[in-house]
Amino acid sequence: MKLGVVIFPSKTLQDRANGLRKRYDTHYALIPPHITLKAAFEAKDDEMETIVEQLRKVAAQVEPFTVTVGNVSSFYPVNNVIYFKVEKTPQLLQLNELLHSGYFPQQREYAFVPHLTIGQNLSNDEHADVLGRLRMKEYHFEQPVDRFHLLYQLEDGAWTAYETFKLGKDGN
C-alpha cells in the first residue's frame, strides 16, 4: 500500500488553490490541496500499526505553529511543477526531518522545499505562460497548523484519509 503524510491548509486556502489547480494540475481530482511532509512510500498492511504509533510520536514532538504561504514559484527546469511557496518554519523542517529518520524510509528524491502544488504536467510553453502570469500576483496566507494526516493511495491514484495526528504534547 502506498502511504503519504500531508498537511491540509485552511478551507480558504484550499479553495483558492483549487481555483488554479482545476485548470493547471492533472492531480486536481486525486487529492485536495496539500503540503507534503512525506512523499508516497510503500508499506505492508501489517506495518500500519507501527507506522501510526511512530507518527503519533512524531506529532507529539512538534508544537502547533503558523504556516506562511506566499507567492508563486516553480521547480523548473527539474520539472514543470508550479506551486505556492511555503515558508521554511522550524516546525515544518523538524516534521520533515522526523519523517525521514528512525523507523521511516529515508530516501528522498529532492531536498525538502515546502510547497503547495497548483500546477503540474504542463507543457513547456504552458508552464512558462502560466508561471509568468501568476508570478505577477501577490499571494499571502498565514494560518495555524495543529495537525497532519496519514493518507493511502487507491488503485486509480486517488488518496483516502487513514488517520489524523494532532501536534504537540497534548495533541493525541
Which residues sit at the interface with a second copy, rule CB under 8 A? 1, 8, 11, 14-15, 18, 22, 29-30, 32, 147, 149, 151-152, 154-156, 158-164
Contact 21, 28 (CB under 8 A): yes
Least distance to a second copy, CB of residue 50, Å: 16
* Separation CA 101–CA 62 (nearest Å): 15
- Terminal C-alpha separation, the chain: 25
Helices and strands in the chain, H and E counts: 4, 8
Residue indicated by cell numbers 529515508: 106
Reply yes or no on whether 149 is catalytic. no
One of 100, 115, 127, 149 is an active-site residue; which one? 115
H or E stretch including 11? helix 11-24
Residue 15 or 129 with smaller CB distance to a second copy: 15
The residue type at 115: H
Alpha helices (H) along 35-170: 48-61, 90-98, 124-135
Amino acid present at 86: V
CB 7 within 8 A of CB 37: yes
Catalytic residue among 34, 100, 127, 140: 34
Catalytic residue flag (residue 34): yes
Catalytic sites, residue numbers: 34, 115
